Amino acid sequence: MRDAHKQGIDMNRFSLLAAAVIAAFPLLASGQALEQPVSFDAGGRISEWSARMEAQARLFPDIGGFQKALLWRADTALSLEIFTARGRLRRELTVAGFDSLRAGVAAFLHAQGGDLLIDRSGRGTMLWGQLPLSLGWYGPAVVALLDPNDGSTATGLYLLSASASYYVPLAMTAHGQITKAQAGLTLNYGYLGLPVGWAIPGLFSADDYKAYMAAMLVTSIGGQLTGFRLARAMTEPQAALAASYTFFGAAQGTLLALTLQQNVTFQKTSVGILAGTGLGCAAGLLYCRRPGVSAGEPDVITASGVCGGLVGFHAALLLADLDDNTHRPFSGAALAGSAAGLWLGHRLARGYDLSKSDGTIVAGAAAGGYLLGAGIGYLLMPTHSGDDAKVRTLAGATIAGLAGGYALGLSIVRRPANRAVRSSSLEIGINPLGLAALAADRSGRQRIPLVYGRF
């Protein structure tokens, strides 16, 4: 009994430290000065120099296959990042070079820039992604709040509110800027606002379902407005990375709350959801500003975190006492696994210029490996054994398939041609696996480093 109690304490410490490290990882892992985007014009209207602008202005005639360009500032250093059909390259800018570039932009805008200033490339994506929110949430939420007495009134309210929640954004984006980064973060924050709204009344143990509906409606709409505003100065990969951190913050906070509770209560779980979402959002907004976020890096990091959580959960199925009616080993293992997966994803994606397609390849290979492992597990499942043996066989095969698929995907995209030019700055960070091992009281057998450094 005492050993079981001690194991529970170790699991709590393990999970708590893992969650704390993943929340603080952006502050610990980055040894480089954070870069901030700089506009191409003095008025701050052009954050990205598009191929359409370049076709008319010809500011970079020596660059073939030009796609877009970005300006960055780190402390006092200025650099120009150019994306081409063959990859991307960086040029350091002197103050004179920066002034000359802005003078060329100003001359172009004065002569013929006009409507090229407004980037509406993300408008269609945002409006298309708005449809599931409109039909699946905003419409039903309005009906639930008004609670009409007859079916025809309910149907009419649903159709009117669902259509309004599409046409209002359509009208709001008719003449303003709507980049792909804004589209992505607007939609993601809209969906992430739902669990936040669900948790707010839970803090007070509210019994009225209308309180939950109203809070979720307000936080979802507020999340969309916040995401739209925050992403104005972001690139598309930066917005995706910020959304990924917020998602994992909400998931990690929920898992931590479940792991720390012997008897789960809605109120304490709500605290975990809100705290995790807040920390994840803050960490994402900070860490996405770092230099060199490639287009596929957010997908690789997200896939790594999901794979780590699944591996942790299945490892608990493989090792835990399945007759012990408790959720804590499984939520704690999933928490620790996702934290380790996020850390690994950052380590493996950094230094490579990954495309959006590369990120999809990694996620798809991992999903395919998961299904393959599960299929093999079912074929190898002992027919004359107990349920525990069957579950452990399936869990072990699934872990092997998932890990193999993930490794295959990474081996495909981590090609030498994708390796980006790295800076020579010092990078120092804390290894969450080392802290987790230390929390498990395995002194004397600890072989996982707590701190790593790279030049």
β-pairing, 36-38 with 66-74? antiparallel
Give the amino acid at 420: A
Residue with tokens 């081409």: 84
β-pairing, 66-74 with 77-84? antiparallel
Q: For position 195, what pLDDT does the model report?
A: 93
Number of helices (H), then strands (E), belonging to the chain: the values are 15, 7
Distance CA 431, CA 435 (A): 7
| Inter-CA distances, 217 with 26, 223, 229, 401, Å | 31, 10, 19, 40
Q: For position 5, what pLDDT does the model report?
A: 47
Between residues 379 and 444, which one has the greater pLDDT?
Answer: 379
Where are the domains positioned within the chain? 49-117
Residue with tokens 């079916």: 151
Q: Does the pLDDT value for residue 35 go beyond 80?
A: no
Q: For position 417, what pLDDT does the model report?
A: 64
Find, among 143, 138, 100, the residue nearest to 217 by Cα.
138
Distance CA 335, CA 315 (A): 12
DSSP at 112 = I
**Section 139-163 average pLDDT:** 91
Between residues 403 and 5, which one has the greater pLDDT?
Answer: 403
Cβ–Cβ under 8 Å, residues 117 and 109: yes
What pTM value is reported for the model?
0.70
Residue with tokens 């408008």: 123
Q: Angle between the 328-349 and 432-439 helix axes, to the nearest 10 degrees?
A: 150
Distance CA 143, CA 214 (A): 11
Q: Structure tokens of 192?
A: 């992430």
Name, of 123-137, 229-243, 301-315, 405-419, the range with top average pLDDT. 301-315
Q: For position 32, what pLDDT does the model report?
A: 47
Distance CA 47, CA 91 (A): 17
Q: For position 408, what pLDDT does the model report?
A: 94
| Inter-CA distances, 203 with 134, 198, 206, Å | 27, 9, 8
190 — pLDDT class (breaks 50, 70, 90):
very high
Q: Does the pLDDT value for residue 431 go beyond 60?
A: no
How does the average pLDDT of the chain come out, rounded?
A: 82
Residue with tokens 């709507």: 178
Between residues 423 and 19, which one has the greater pLDDT?
Answer: 19
Total residues belonging to the chain = 455
CB-based contacts of 257: which residues, under 8 Å, 6+ apart? 268, 269, 271, 272, 273, 276
Distance CA 55, CA 288 (A): 30
Q: Does the pLDDT value for residue 432 go beyond 80?
A: no
Distance CA 270, CA 201 (A): 9
DSSP at 427 = E
Cβ–Cβ under 8 Å, residues 181 and 234: yes
pLDDT in tens, 56-71: 888 888 888 898 899 9
**Section 79-108 average pLDDT:** 87
Between residues 447 and 181, which one has the greater pLDDT?
Answer: 181
Q: Angle between the 266-287 and 236-260 helix axes, to the nearest 10 degrees?
A: 150
Q: Does the pLDDT value for residue 39 go beyond 90?
A: no
Distance CA 294, CA 231 (A): 16
Name, of 115-119, 214-218, 422-426, 450-454, the range with top average pLDDT. 214-218
Q: Does the pLDDT value for residue 430 go beyond 50?
A: no
Between residues 81 and 440, which one has the greater pLDDT?
Answer: 81
Q: Which of 16-20, 73-77, 154-158, 181-185 has the lowest mean pLDDT?
A: 16-20
Q: Does the pLDDT value for residue 271 go beyond 90?
A: yes
Q: For position 325, what pLDDT does the model report?
A: 74
- Between vectors from CA 451 to CA 349 and to CA 294, what angle results, nearest 5°? 15
Q: Does the pLDDT value for residue 88 go beyond 60?
A: yes
Helix (H) or strand (E) holding 89: strand 87-93
Give the amino acid at 51: A
Region of 362 on the Ramachandran plot (φ > 0 left; ψ -120 to 50 alpha; else beta) = alpha
Find, among 224, 221, 132, 137, the residue nearest to 183 by Cα.
224
Q: Which of 57-66, 160-169, 343-352, 415-424 has the lowest mean pLDDT?
A: 415-424
pLDDT in tens, 353-392: 888 899 999 999 999 999 999 999 999 888 777 778 888 8
**Section 213-222 average pLDDT:** 94
pLDDT in tens, 298-330: 999 999 999 999 999 999 988 888 777 788 899
335 — pLDDT class (breaks 50, 70, 90):
very high
Q: For position 114, what pLDDT does the model report?
A: 56
Find, among 127, 68, 72, 75, the residue nearest to 98 by Cα.
72
Neighbours of 396 (CB within 10 A): 18
Q: Structure tokens of 374?
A: 């599960």
Cβ–Cβ under 8 Å, residues 204 and 173: no
**Section 423-428 average pLDDT:** 39
